[in-house]
């Protein structure tokens, strides 16, 4: 694993909505470069940039038309390369979003693949042999090609699935090509070419979109794991320092495939939503939340990945509700106490550090649908368009949070009691203590028969730290089976540690043990 991942804290940037420096109402790469010092001062050491490549933007850029060219609305390849340099100069790293599973229909590969005559790209995508035969269980795109066939799709119906082959091709369906067929192997090499291109240009690795779904008819992921192992071997040869983080949600599989870390996802069996995004989230003061199912699943994933459990827990992302939709600022501070003391690299979604709100009732923008409200422009200050852009407000990519009390960076930097100030403090505590960082161990403690408080021990390099977190509105008294030492961080009411430890409402403390 690249050394820098050990204590990395990521900041996810949705480029459309971060900072516009050319007044067209949409964020750009130079805007990100312009704000690097802010991200660094927050304490983040790395950036995950959502797709910034040429695209018809039917899925906000996750429908790539040209993997090797920055979308003109964001700037140029040179701008992106300058961002890499400027980040490196500040000791930071940048990972790009790699979308290996599908392209836009406007991608040159797909335009060629739709042709009736056989060509170099005929087998680049998953096609059936007849327009009347659908690829079962995959969704399909049909009726726009001269070629007689249906093309499988991966997400929206305008995102044709690239062909990496079938793990168990059905012998009666000749169009299901094996993983080692010429077409499937050519797609894999094309993927490596894209990675090679950006890694040579100075990027530090990739967040890989839908990483677990490349090989088809691959129930337990064996085919996709072996594909990524081959990619890992290529990286080990040519770019051993490249970081790979998967959107897969099954670390036992993704880490085997050579990924360094995997995301905890807001869908599937992770119980992530129990924490922040359900009807009675664990981190709300109401104190009716449940965390036991999350802990059990987390421990299971950790065990299955040989105790490594490099699971990145995001504060949010461009696909889910904002943290602030369910939690108050004080509740968010406690939630960040948890997020920034867990193993795996934490990911802070832009704006979550100030508690940006989900903007309700927006019309969908670029395939965002319900996700659009979490993608609104960053709120920098109280000037025009919250300092995001000098364009006229009706030109903004997505409307701003209309609330006149919307949070902003400038005000929160000046307020020692803000969410932003708490996040800064927490990151700096994490940076000072290897036990709190990515690779340290974790053991959840059973100190109470109830769901609150949450207690765990983080450990690394001979250092052991106890985290005691009580998001609820009531006091709990717990008995700790060991002596507790110096407090290295606390927020909220003071936890009085002793034989009977009293944990006041909305408190979070870290102690040496």
Binding site for ligand BGC (CB under 6 A): 59, 62, 99, 155, 209-210, 247, 318-319
Hey, what are 144's tokens?
A: 């726009």
Of the pair 247, 330, the CB lying nearest ligand BGC is at 247
Using CA atoms, how far apart are residues 17 and 397, in angstroms rounded to an integer? 7
Of the pair 265, 466, the CB lying nearest ligand BGC is at 265
| Residue 378 and residue 388 in contact, taking contact as beta carbons nearer than 8 Å | yes
Of the pair 58, 178, the CB lying nearest ligand BGC is at 58
Which residue has the CB atom at the shortest distance from ligand BGC? 62
Q: How far is the CB of 210 from ligand BGC (least distance, A)?
A: 5
Of the pair 156, 444, the CB lying nearest ligand BGC is at 156
Using CA atoms, how far apart are residues 453 and 472, in angstroms rounded to an integer? 8
Of the pair 313, 409, the CB lying nearest ligand BGC is at 313
Hey, what are 143's tokens?
A: 């009726």
Of the pair 204, 247, the CB lying nearest ligand BGC is at 247
Using CA atoms, how far apart are residues 374 and 511, in angstroms rounded to an integer? 35
Of the pair 210, 290, the CB lying nearest ligand BGC is at 210
Q: How far is the CB of 405 from ligand BGC (least distance, A)?
A: 29
**E strand or H helix at 230, and its extent?**
helix 222-238
Q: How far is the CB of 62 from ligand BGC (least distance, A)?
A: 3
Instruction: Classify 268 as helix, strand or coil.
Output: helix
Residues 6+ away with beta carbon under 8 Å from 466? 445, 455, 456, 457, 480, 484, 510, 511, 512, 513
| Residue 335 and residue 276 in contact, taking contact as beta carbons nearer than 8 Å | yes
Instruction: Classify 262 as helix, strand or coil.
Output: strand
Q: How far is the CB of 484 from ligand BGC (least distance, A)?
A: 41
The string of DSSP letters for 146-210 reads SSSS-EEBSSSTTSBBB---BSS--TT-TTS-BTTSHHHHHHHHHHHHHHHHHHHTT--EEEETT
Q: How far is the CB of 185 from ligand BGC (least distance, A)?
A: 23
DSSP 201: T
Residue 172, CA distances (Å) to 93, 129, 168, 216, 376 in order: 48, 12, 12, 16, 49
Looking at the DSSP bridge assignments, the partners of residue 216 are 166
Of the pair 286, 319, the CB lying nearest ligand BGC is at 319
Of 54, 58, 163, the closest CA to residue 102 belongs to: 163
Q: How far is the CB of 101 from ligand BGC (least distance, A)?
A: 7
Residues 6+ away with beta carbon under 8 Å from 103? 63, 64, 65, 109, 110, 159, 160, 162
Of the pair 368, 440, the CB lying nearest ligand BGC is at 368
Strands 463-470, 454-460: pairing kind: antiparallel
Using CA atoms, how far apart are residues 497 and 507, in angstroms rounded to an integer? 13
Q: How far is the CB of 498 from ligand BGC (least distance, A)?
A: 46
Q: How far is the CB of 6 from ligand BGC (least distance, A)?
A: 26
Q: Which residue has the tokens 């090609």?
A: 145
Q: How far is the CB of 249 from ligand BGC (least distance, A)?
A: 10
Of the pair 218, 331, the CB lying nearest ligand BGC is at 218
Q: How far is the CB of 186 from ligand BGC (least distance, A)?
A: 22
């Amino acid at each position: 694993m690249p050394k820098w991942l050990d204590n990395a804290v990521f900041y996810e940037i949705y480029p459309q909505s971060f900072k516009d420096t050319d007044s067209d109402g949409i964020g750009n790469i130079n805007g990100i470069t312009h704000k690097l010092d802010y991200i660094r001062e927050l304490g983040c050491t790395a950036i995950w940039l959502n797709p910034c490549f040429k695209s018809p933007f039917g899925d906000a850029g996750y429908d790539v038309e040209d993997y090797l060219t920055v979308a003109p609305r964001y700037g140029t390849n040179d701008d992106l390369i300058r961002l890499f340099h400027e980040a490196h100069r500040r000791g930071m790293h940048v990972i790009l979003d790699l979308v290996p599973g599908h392209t836009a229909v406007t991608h040159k590969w797909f335009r060629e693949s739709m042709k009736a005559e056989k060509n170099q790209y005929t087998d680049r995508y998953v096609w059936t042999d007849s327009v009347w035969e659908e690829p079962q269980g995959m969704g399909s795109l049909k009726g726009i090609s001269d070629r007689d066939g249906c093309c499988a799709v991966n997400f929206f119906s305008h995102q044709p699935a690239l062909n990496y082959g079938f793990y168990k091709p059905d012998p009666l369906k000749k169009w299901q090509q094996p993983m080692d067929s010429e077409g499937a192997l050519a797609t894999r090499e094309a993927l490596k070419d894209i990675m090679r291109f950006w890694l040579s240009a100075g990027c530090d690795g990739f967040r890989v979109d839908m990483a677990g779904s490349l090989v088809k008819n691959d129930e337990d992921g064996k085919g996709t794991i072996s594909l990524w192992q081959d990619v890992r071997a290529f990286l080990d040869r040519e770019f051993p320092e490249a970081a790979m983080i998967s959107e897969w949600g099954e670390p036992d599989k993704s880490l085997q495939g050579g990924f360094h870390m995997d995301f905890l996802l807001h869908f599937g069996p992770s119980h992530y939503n129990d924490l922040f995004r359900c009807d009675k989230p664990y981190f709300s003061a109401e104190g009716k939340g449940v965390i036991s199912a999350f802990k059990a699943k987390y421990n299971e994933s950790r065990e299955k990945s040989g105790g490594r459990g490099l699971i990145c827990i995001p504060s949010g992302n461009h696909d889910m509700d904002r943290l602030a939709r369910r939690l108050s600022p004080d509740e968010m501070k406690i939630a960040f106490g948890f997020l920034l003391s867990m193993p795996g690299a934490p990911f802070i979604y832009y704006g979550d550090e100030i508690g940006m709100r989900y903007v309700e009732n927006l019309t969908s923008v670029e395939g965002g649908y319900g996700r659009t409200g979490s993608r609104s422009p960053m709120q920098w200050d109280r000037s025009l368009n919250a300092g995001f852009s000098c364009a006229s407000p009706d030109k903004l990519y997505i409307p701003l949070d209309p609330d006149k009390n919307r949070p902003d960076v400038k005000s929160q930097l000046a307020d020692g009691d803000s969410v932003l100030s708490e996040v800064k403090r927490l990151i700096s505590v994490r940076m000072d203590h290897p036990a709190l960082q990515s690779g340290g161990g974790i053991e959840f403690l059973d100190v109470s028969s109830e769901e609150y408080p949450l207690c765990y021990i983080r450990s690394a390099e001979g250092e052991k730290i106890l985290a005691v977190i009580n998001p609820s509105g009531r006091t709990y008294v717990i008995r700790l089976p060991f002596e507790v030492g110096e407090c290295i961080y606390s927020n909220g009411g003071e936890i009085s540690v002793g034989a009977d430890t009293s944990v006041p409402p909305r408190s979070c403390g870290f102690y040496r043990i």
